[in-house]
Amino acid sequence: MSIEYIKRKQKQLEKKRQREAEAKAKLEAERVAKREAELREQQEIAARKKLLLERQEAERRRQEHTQRKEELEAHKWDKQLGVLLDQMESVRQEEARLEEIRIIIQKREPALQELDWATWLSDPLNQRLVDLDLSRAMEMFKRDNLLAARRKKTRGKKPAFNYALVFSGDRAGATDSYATTTFDPDTYELWNGFTISFWVRPDEAMNQTSVILGSKNNSPESRFKFGIHSNGNINVGIGGTNVTGINNPMEVGKWYNWVITYTGDDKGFGERKVRMWINNDPRMTSNTNTRWANQASARTIYFGGRNTNDSYTQGFACALTNVAIYNVCKDSDGTFANEVYNNGIKHNYTGANGLVGYWRFSEGSGTTIADTSGNDNNGTFGTIAGNTKAYPTWEKVN
């Protein structure tokens, strides 16, 4: 065997071992790569599972938060609803209390003699009034005794003659005579209902806007006026209502009794809120849902014209007497209007139930008309700038 042959065989053996080693290395590399791929896949699966679990946990927490929020909102609404229901019940109770007070004041009759507090309370209506409103009850107690004292002073005396005041109106050439008062309709809460009665004699043609008595503030919802419209019809303005289409039966130079009643601005729509009688003859029923604006700067009423923002306007040439204002709606069927008309122009209503303003015009002289309701809202002759003699004149009523 030659050396060359041996060398050749060795080289062949080495190449075979090298090929085997390379094949083995390749197989090992493939195994390692496969193992690494399997590990990566397992890691990816684990990561996906973890992410899924995290998302599920986040969704659970979100749903739990949403449910808690909804529970809190529901609890909050239940609480607000409870507060609202409590407020509504308080309002209902207050309205019931005020309505009972109104009914008591309308029903009760003032004592004919002065009484001490304990005796005055022996009347169940007075005691109930104390339970409902002590300050209102004390006011009524003082008023009862004041009226009783006045009746005592005038007992046995001859009745005073009745007079009327004659106003010239504000047409061209007239002296613009009128009288002011301190009577403010808002002071006596007339928006809760009232009755007004007076006697008037028109002394001029009724073909222009004119007012017998009344007031009006800047707000159109603060009317309190009674007179004639420019169309010749009767004009009644109460709160936000201004009725101008009432048939006018009056003739110049004749006396007429007016009675107007108002149910109050808290009555429902469709309620016959405003009624009017002239000489006991029904003239008007208004179903208007009147709104009365309580004005902080409300105007007091004038006689012989209207107080418009503390200025005399729309004067009426007429005679006026026996003006009575009550803070209750006294009539629904004409009974009260019939009574007033049949009592006549000279009847004395001092001490009547619910009377908050009463001017009999019984003085016959001077420049003051006494308010005998006990509230002392006396009337005073108004002066016109530049004409201090522009006063109404007294006239005896036959």
Among 61-75, 347-361, 366-380, the least confident range:
61-75
- What residue has token string 């009724």? 206
Whole-number pLDDT of residue 77: 78
Distance CA 12, CA 164 (A): 157
Tell whether the model's pLDDT for residue 266 goes beyond 70. Answer: no
Tell whether the model's pLDDT for residue 219 goes beyond 90. Answer: no
Find how far residue 78's CA is from the centre of its chain.
29
Secondary structure of residue 144 in the 3-state scheme: helix
Whole-number pLDDT of residue 110: 67
Q: What is the mean pLDDT of residues 156-168?
A: 72
CATH topology of domain 161-396: Jelly Rolls (2.60.120)
pTM for the whole structure:
0.60
- If one compares 301 and 4, the residue with the highest pLDDT of the two is 301
Tell whether the model's pLDDT for residue 295 goes beyond 70. Answer: no
Pair 228, 281: CB distance under 8 Å: no
Secondary structure of residue 141 in the 3-state scheme: helix
pLDDT (tens digit per residue) in 191-209: 888 999 999 999 888 888 8
Q: What is the mean pLDDT of residues 48-77?
A: 85
pLDDT-based confidence at residue 58 (cuts at 50, 70, 90)? confident
HSE toward the beta carbon, residue 213, CA cutoff 13 A: 29
Tell whether the model's pLDDT for residue 96 goes beyond 80. Answer: yes
Among 28-37, 270-279, 371-380, the least confident range:
270-279
User: pLDDT exceeding 90 applies to what percent of the chain?
Assistant: 22
Tell whether the model's pLDDT for residue 152 goes beyond 70. Answer: no
**Helix intervals (H) in the chain:** 3-107, 117-120, 124-132, 134-154, 335-343
Tell whether the model's pLDDT for residue 254 goes beyond 90. Answer: yes
* Contacts by 208-212, CB closer than 8 A, 24 or more apart: 208/171, 209/235, 209/314, 210/169, 210/170, 210/305, 210/314, 210/315, 210/316, 210/317, 211/235, 211/302, 211/305, 211/306, 211/313, 211/314, 211/315, 211/316, 212/258, 212/303, 212/304, 212/316, 212/318, 212/320
Q: What is the mean pLDDT of residues 162-178?
A: 83
**Helix intervals (H) in 108-133:** 117-120, 124-132
Distance CA 282, CA 340 (A): 14
Among 92-106, 138-152, 162-176, the least confident range:
138-152
Q: Give the dihedral of Cα atoms 328, 374, 341, 157; nearest 10 deg.
A: 150
pLDDT-based confidence at residue 181 (cuts at 50, 70, 90)? very high
Among 294-308, 328-342, 375-389, the least confident range:
375-389
Mean per-residue pLDDT over the chain, rounded: 83
Find how far residue 238's CA is from the centre of its chain.
14
pLDDT-based confidence at residue 257 (cuts at 50, 70, 90)? very high
Distance CA 60, CA 64 (A): 6
The count of other CB atoms within 10 Å of the CB of residue 240 is 17
Whole-number pLDDT of residue 269: 45
Q: What is the mean pLDDT of residues 138-155?
A: 72
Tell whether the model's pLDDT for residue 272 goes beyond 70. Answer: no
pLDDT (tens digit per residue) in 11-57: 888 888 888 888 888 888 888 888 888 888 888 888 888 888 888 88
Query: Rounded to 5 degrees, what are φ and ψ at 372?
Result: -95, 20
Q: Which sequence spans correspond to the domains of the chain?
A: 1-98, 108-157, 161-396
